[in-house]
Amino acid sequence: MWRATLTELVATTLTTCLLFTLTTSIISCLESTTVEPKFLIPFAIIVIAFFFLLTTVPLSGGHMSPVFTFIAALEGVITPVRALFYMSAQCVGSIVAYLVIKSVMDKNAEEKYSLGGCMIDGNGEGISPTNAFILEFSCTFIVLFVGVTVAFDKRRCKELGLQMVCGILAGAMTLAFFVSISVTGRAGYAGAGLNPARCLGPSLLKGGRLWYGHWVFWVGPFVACIVYYGFTLTLPTGTS
């Protein structure tokens, strides 16, 4: 368990490249007057997520997010104690990652975009917490239904192979994120987080408006996990 926990911590920290890519891509999109740069964000997600999943799945399960750890605990794939260690490691990894980002990001950009953290505009100009909750719930459920259903099915995993399963998971995450930023299209919301730990890092380091609606990035995905778990109980034995 300790080795797997360390893997989760290191993997979450090393996804600094993912976090940094997403942060700079989001800032570039906001600064640009064209729509095309938004396609850089999903592209970055699917490429980097795929390789990180490919590396970490055999070592720890490749969670790198409290969402996947929580659903794994609900499904009985890991124990509650292991889940607690995983989530703690993921949160620490996020903080370390954003410490790195904070040290290299331009101070003006850091102030203007709140360190590229998960934001919900509290001035009434962007998306409301209720709508953000609906998006977080919906996008997380999509990832669970498309990706986790396959990942937790041992027979299908064996048939498809590790590379294909990782590709499906990365693709589901990319689809959910792209849908969320396409539907909103507003400043003050950077798209579905799909990872509460990622949102926690910049909130702790920067604070301020990042705490407004922060609960959405935890409650939305966790409620989606509970609903998905209830859905899997209705499936025939061997399909989940």
- Each residue's pLDDT tens digit, 183-207: 665 555 666 667 888 888 888 888 7
Average pLDDT over residues 32-49: 66
Instruction: Compute the mean pLDDT over every residue in the chain, rounded to the nearest whole number.
Output: 79
Lowest model confidence (mean pLDDT) among 29-33, 171-175, 222-226, 228-232? 29-33
Tell me the backbone φ, ψ of residue 83, rounded to 5 degrees.
-60, -40
CA 194 to chain centre: 3
What element of type H or E holds 15?
A: none
User: What count of other Cβ atoms lies within 10 Å of the Cβ of residue 80?
Assistant: 9
Q: Which of 225, 11, 26, 231 is nearest to 136 (CA)?
A: 225
Q: What is the pLDDT of residues 204-226, one digit of tens each?
A: 888 777 888 889 999 999 999 99
For the chain, domains (ranges, CATH) are 2-232 (1.20.1080.10)
Sequence-distant (6+) residues with CB within 8 A of 73 are 79, 80, 82, 83
